[in-house]
Structure 1
Amino acid sequence: MLSAIRCNLLPVIKLYLLGLKVLLVQLFSKPFRLPVMPRQDGKVAIVTGGVRGIGYEVACHMARLGAHVIIGGRDEQGGLEAVRRICEECKEAKVEFTRLDLASLQSVRQFVQSFKERDLPLNILINNAGVMLVPEGRTEDGFEQHFGVNYLGHFLLTWLLLDTLKGSGKCGCFSRVVNVSSSAHSIGEMRLNDLNSCECYSAHAAYCQSKKAQLLFSSHLHQELQRGGFPLSSCAVDPGMVDTALYRHLWTPICLAQSAIARLLFKTPAEGAATVLYAALSPTLEGECGGGYWANGCREMTTPPTFDPQLQLSLWETSLQLLGQQ
């Protein structure tokens, strides 16, 4: 009985209490306003989940600055519509859509292969796509959905693009990997022996674990890049609670009230995108300054386990094994 309560009820309570705290902080805090960013002419950026919400705002802003933006997503019709809207807003925008299903490792590999065949540089990778509190299910390759989409799909995408990212950066103009995470990482438990949540499934716990995994990966990657002296940095960003479709699986009474709550307390997608864009484009975050965890335009501390080098390494090695990359 106690174990069932711990598995099913505690993650729900912890996540909704955290959500309430975040909403209160947002209510009494001034939203971060993105400073004017430099032109990005000649740079190439990939944005996962750039069809709508935060990803769309990121893709649109970077296209306006002259970057060649490739939106990766599952929804082809929505992706082509997003491209059309961006081109209508900025006639000179260089933006395109390529299908990418992070719930399919084959799709990730095909996306990377197609990109590499074009022999383009890659200066910015925004790992933005994600799912939240979806019903229990498995990806095409048998992984729990939150872990598979939010973390493992992006891990493989980044891993396969690392050489291109490294080769595109240079001293004074590093390439950048930006992982869009969540404050939910702070209450996530990293269960290396049960990453697929087989022992006891909770959508809330699975979501939080996937977000913690993102931060562990982001931090370990940045340290590895520093040790190797590569012109590439990695950071994680918490965009806050943003008025997007990500919250459609919230507990029903809250979901029904979401539209009213969102108008009052949630950030707009543009506000949520501000720190993501700052991490990806700001000249002040060049080189070693580009790592860390960012929220509302500021570098923040994360929970102690995120800094655990052994946990970071264990997750890294486990992920490579799961993906057959070792």
Structure 2
Amino acid sequence: MLSAIRSHLLPLFKLYLLGLKVLLVQLVSRPFRLPVMPRQDGKVAIVTGGGRGIGYEVVRHMARLGAHVIIGGRDEHEGLAAVRRICEEYKEAKVEFKKLDLASLQSVHQFVQSFKERHLPLNILVNNAGVMLVPEGHTKDGFEQHFGVNYLGHFLLTWLLLETLKDSGKSGQFSRVVNVSSSAHRIGKIRLNDLNSYQCYSSHAAYCHSKLAQLLFSSHLHQEMQHGGFPVSSCAVDPGMVDTALYRHLWTPLRLAQRTIAHLLLRTPAEGAATVLYAALSPALEGECGGGYWANGCREMTTALTSEPQLQLSLWQTSLQLVGLQ
């Protein structure tokens, strides 16, 4: 009994303590301001969860620069409304919405099949959609929700689009995969024999584990592309603590406090999107300069666990098995 309580409370305290630290850093530091980025005419981008928050700001900025952007999302009403707003703001914008439910492997397959039938290039893939601290539950394929949506759905999406990304990149103009992660990965763990958190469920721990899985995948993918000589780079980005709907499942007193102090301590969605856009578009991150973990416009060191080759490989191989690709 005591062990179960500890398993629930320890991740909660660790995550909220980390959140407090991040808020204090944000309070004393200026948010990164995105430099002027080059035009993206002729490029095609997919942004998951692009109907609101950080994803919406990423889509909006890319569309302004001339990219053809496809929003992949579960909420059709929200996605189409985002398309309308962007097209009203930028008359020449090329933005569209396509249904994509990352909690369903079948939906991911259908999204990719529909995209490939159009024979479009794919220059930028932003894996942005996610859930945080949702009640215990499972995806349509039986995976724990944080692991299934934040990580495994994006893993399958990226894998299925990898050949298109390879074909679309070239020397001096690599295709880019940008994984929107979180500082919460620093307190995450990977238990290969319990990726679905069956042994002891904590929404706080599950969220952190899923974000660590994202970083391990992002790093391993980048290395695989480098070793294979393919014109594709992969990096992870921490947008900071941003005033979005992601925090709606916070402990009630903290959620109420968040609403009160959001304008003082939390970044705006546009500020959170700045480093994501920098990773996706900046000429300074071309080729071998891509990859890594980025926060507030800078490459950062992260935990030693994210650089363990065997753990990266084991998670990669296990993930292939889980999504039926091996």
TM-score where L is the length of structure 1: 0.99
Sequence identity percentage: 85
1:51 matched residue in structure 2? 51
Distance 1:13 1:5 in 2: 12
Output one character per residue of 1:88-114: Cα deviation in whole Å (capped at 9) or x when no partner.
Answer: 110000000000000000000000000
Tell me the distance in 2 between the aligned counterparts of 1:318 and 1:84: 40
Partner residue of 1:294? 294
Q: What are structure 1's unaligned runs of at least 5 residues? A: none
Q: What is the CA–CA distance in structure 2 between the aligned matches of 1:5 and 1:34, rounded to whole Å? A: 44
CA deviation after TM superposition for structure 1 residue 260, in Å: 1.3
Alignment correspondent of 2:106: 106
Work out the CA distance in 2 between the residues paired with 1:191 and 1:261: 36
CA distance in 2, matches of 1:125, 1:284: 18
Distance 2:304 2:34 in 1: 29
Measured against aligned partners, the alpha-carbon deviations of 1:268-310 in whole angstroms (never above 9, x if no partner) come to 0000000000000000000011100000000000100000000
Runs in 1 of length 4+ with deviation above 3 angstroms? Answer: none
Q: Distance in 2 between matches of 1:45 and 1:198?
A: 36
Aligned to 2:68: 68
Give me the whole-angstrom Cα distance separating, in 2, the residues matched to 1:171 and 1:227: 15
Structure 1 residue 5, shift from structure 2 partner: 3.0
Structure 1 counterpart of 2:315:
315
**How many Å separate the matches in 2 of 1:235 and 1:106?**
26
| Paired position in structure 1 for 2:239 | 239
Query: Which residue pairs with 2:166 in the alignment?
Result: 166
* Partner residue in 1 for 2:212: 212
Cα distance in structure 2, aligned partners of 1:262 and 1:59: 23
Deviations 1:155-214 (A, max 9, x none): 000000000000000000000000000000000011111000000000000000000000
1:225-304 → structure 2 map (5 Å cutoff)? 225-304=225-304
Q: Distance in 1 between matches of 2:218 and 2:6?
A: 29
Per-residue CA distance 1:56-91 (angstroms, 9 max, x = gap): 000000000000000000110111100000001100
Whole-angstrom CA distance in 2 between matches of 1:267 and 1:7? 31
SS in structure 2 of the partner of residue 9 of structure 1: helix
Per the alignment, in what secondary structure is the counterpart of residue 62 of structure 1? helix
* Structural mapping, 1:151-230, within 5 Å: 151-230=151-230
- Residues 1:26 and 2:26 aligned together: yes
Q: Secondary structure, in 3 states, of the residue corresponding to 1:301?
A: coil
Amino acid of the residue matched to residue 222 of structure 1? H
Q: CA deviation at 1:258?
A: 1.5
Residue 263 of structure 1 and its aligned partner are, at CA, apart by: 1.1
Partners of 1:133 and 1:36 lie apart in 2 by 35
Q: What runs of 5+ residues in structure 2 fail to find an aligned partner?
A: none
Distance 2:304 2:259 in 1: 35
Q: What secondary structure sits across from 1:247 in the alignment?
A: helix
Matched residue type, 1:77: H
Q: Write the letter of the residue equivalent to 2:202.
A: S
CA distance in 2, matches of 1:214, 1:37: 26
> Structure 1 residue 2: deviation in Å?
3.8
Partner of 2:36: 36
| 251-260 or 110-119: bigger deviation | 251-260
Question: What amino acid is aligned across from residue 7 of structure 2 in structure 1?
Answer: C
Structure 1 CA distance for aligned equivalents of residues 222 and 93 of structure 2:
31
Q: Aligned partners of 2:147, 2:256: CA distance in 1, in Å? A: 27
Q: Which amino acid letter does the alignment assign opposite residue 84 of structure 1?
A: R
Alpha-carbon deviation of 1:6?
2.9
Q: For residue 50 of structure 1, report the CA deviation from its aligned partner.
A: 0.2
The CA RMSD over aligned residues, in Å, is 0.5
Equivalent pairs counted in the alignment come to 326
Alpha-carbon distance in 2 for matches of 1:288, 1:130:
28
2:96 is paired with a residue whose SS is strand
Secondary structure (helix, strand or coil) at the match of 2:299 reads strand
**For 1:113 and 1:155, how far apart are their aligned partners in 2?**
16
Structure 1 residue 257: Cα displacement = 1.9
Cα distance in 1 for residues equivalent to 2:263 and 2:78 = 24
- Tell me the distance in 1 between the aligned counterparts of 2:7 and 2:289: 39
